[in-house]
Structure 1
Amino acid sequence: MVRVEDVIEQVAGLAAGGAVVVLSGAGLSTESGIPDYRGPSGVARRHTPMTYQTFTGDAGARRRYWARSHLGWRWIAQAAPNDGHRAVARLQRAGVVAGIITQNVDGLHTAAGSTGVVELHGRLDEVVCLGCGARTTREDLDGRLRRANPGFDARAAAINPDGDVDLDDAQVAGFRVVDCGACGGMLKPDVVFFGETVPAPRVARCFTMVRQARLLLVLGSSLTVMSGRRFVSAAARQDVPVVIVNQGPTRGDGYARLCVDAPLGRLLPAVADRLCPAGADRVVSVAS
């Protein structure tokens, strides 16, 4: 049996040279109460995420999305960084981690104190108008939706990774969607939906980070979709070592020098303890 201490030493040893780029997925946020898609708390088998085409082309589907996301947003807004997020921030402050790419839309890396995070799929706490391009905060939209739906009293039992919740049609009926206050256009959370393309400059920035890395450290991602897996395959082509820490197998395991099946909230702080010199791990958490 492999000892946890030995695995920690392996990961720390590979990361010790610095210039580490982190690629994180939903599995990093599960200990903050946000489930992942395909890991131990995964919901992919019972939840179909909204596609861009359906959102923009079907008013009824858009109403269902906003009703469900209106509740789910409250869960995301209350989520706090966990020990894994804080450990990544410590490693960045200590100069071990050079860059962070996240597939998550919850903003928890930044809330933990990390800086310069490339949010590949955007953030749920920002809203964009598809008509004029105006951007507003989700907090502002939340207030507008509350005022437009004073009698909306639906309750959610659990949240999905994209900030959506499960509601039946009766709970959605009558929910009022609001439009852009500037032009009356369609509002959308500033996240990349399924069927939507990640902005090319953002992708190019990520490829540059991977190319300049000494190590690509994948945290909590099954790498099922190409959006994240392409950076792993690119690292392998460029002889950048890949380490994957995830609970369960991933589609990138064949590219990795080391695959670790372990809880991130336990392993990452232990790695940070070994690599962060005294005082370098003093990270001030900012509001999520």
Structure 2
Amino acid sequence: MAQDQIEALRRMIAEAGRAVVFTGAGISTESGIPDFRSPGGIWTKYQPIMFQDFVASEEMRREAWRRKFATDETMRKAEPNRGHRAVEKLVRIGKVSSVITQNIDGLHQASGVPAEKVIELHGNTTYAKCLDCGERMELDAVRQCFVVEDRLPVCEGCGGVVKTATISFGQAMPEQEMRRAQIETLACDLFIVLGSSLVVYPAAGFPITAKRNGARLAIINREPTELDDFADLVLNREIGPTFGDAVGVN
């Protein structure tokens, strides 16, 4: 039965002219990165810091950076797994036009997917940005400032507040990325979900948009999702082995 499902996924990919891959935490947990929402995840240990509190309070900014560097070693050690490599192959051969991701770990880019092909809905935790002018700041510089020199990072250009380049609770979704994701979703004929519980909106609305626009929908996730009934194919299995087999990546 499982092999039949993988063969069905393989056929769907072969028949697609323009596919989009949508990834969530499930693809990265297989690289050792904990799921924020699951039992034992970061948000069961720490109360999320709201964006407005981060901006308004030096104490909250210090706490946010303390948490970042306390948990950063896991992120730094993580490497792309078989699922990421399978996605990269489909992008490289021109089968997948873009990767829409809820993940902030940068593993798609690390696997070889060109940065311009990755649409990060929730930002990226592997670098920081100034909230005022948008200037990028590398984490090594922030670590030197915060951990070694015991001071909060500020933008060298404008003196603005520096934050990891992620989207926090209470922070607006990135308009450009949401617009690009909508365009790619409407242009695809196959929408593949990998490792997302599909409960966080507006991101979880993209599979529905694709399906209603005539695309086929495949969902590969260890647990059932609320959108399974909409899908043409559902595989409740590990992402890396399942997608790797379907794409032919070891």
TM-score if structure 1 supplies the norm length?
A: 0.79
Q: Which of these residues, 212, 223, 234, is aligned with residue 248 of structure 1?
A: 223
- Between the aligned partners of 2:163 and 2:174, the Cα distance in structure 1 is 16
Amino acid paired to 1:69: K
What's the TM-score, normalizing by structure 2? 0.90
Unaligned runs of 5+ in 1: 150-175, 274-280, 283-288
Q: Answer yes or no: is the 8 Å Cα contact 2:100–2:181 preserved in 1.
A: yes
Q: Which has the higher contact order (CA 8 A, sep 6+)?
A: 1
% identity of equivalent residues = 36
| Cα distance in 1 between the residues matched to 2:233 and 2:138 | 40
Q: Which residue of 2 aligns with 1:138?
A: 139
**Is residue 127–residue 137 contact of structure 1 (8 Å, CA) maintained in 2?**
yes
- Label 1:223 to 1:42 Cα distance change in 2 as closer, same or farther (>3 A): farther
- Superposed structure 1 runs of 4+ greater than 6 Å apart: none
Higher helix share: 2
Paired AA for residue 189 in structure 2: R
- SS of the aligned residue for 2:234 comes to strand
- Cα distance change, pair 194–243 in 1 and its aligned pair in 2 (3 A): same
CA positional deviation for 1:246: 0.6
- CA-atom RMSD in angstroms: 2.1
For residues 114-168 of structure 1, give each alpha carbon's deviation from its aligned partner in whole angstroms, at most 9, with x where no partner exists: 122111211112211123332212222122223214xxxxxxxxxxxxxxxxxxx
User: Are the counterparts in 2 of residues 17 and 96 from structure 1 also a CA contact under 8 Å?
Assistant: no
Distance in structure 2 (CA, Å) of the matches to 1:201 and 1:38: 26
Given the alignment, which residue of 15, 18, 23 partners 1:17?
Answer: 15
Please tell me whether residue 95 in structure 1 is matched to residue 89 in structure 2.
Answer: no
Residue pairs, 1:191-270, within 5 angstroms: 191-270=166-245
C-alpha spacing 1:43/1:245, structure 2 compared with 1 (3 Å): farther
After TM superposition, list the pairs within 5 Å mapping 1:77-116 onto structure 2. 77-115=76-114, 116=117
Q: Judge conservation of contact 2:191–2:217 (CA < 8 Å) in 1.
A: yes
- Structure with bigger gyration radius: 1
Which has the higher mean CA deviation after the structures are superposed, 234-243 or 21-30?
234-243
Q: Is the 8 A contact 2:197 2:225 kept in 1?
A: yes
Deviations 1:28-79 (A, max 9, x none): 0011110124468755555443321221123222211111102222321221
Aligned equivalent of 2:4, options 6, 23, 29? 6
In the alignment, the residues of structure 2 paired with residue 41 and residue 272 of structure 1 have an alpha-carbon distance, to the nearest angstrom, of 32
Unaligned runs of 5+ in 2: none
Contact 1:125 1:139 in 2 (8 A): no
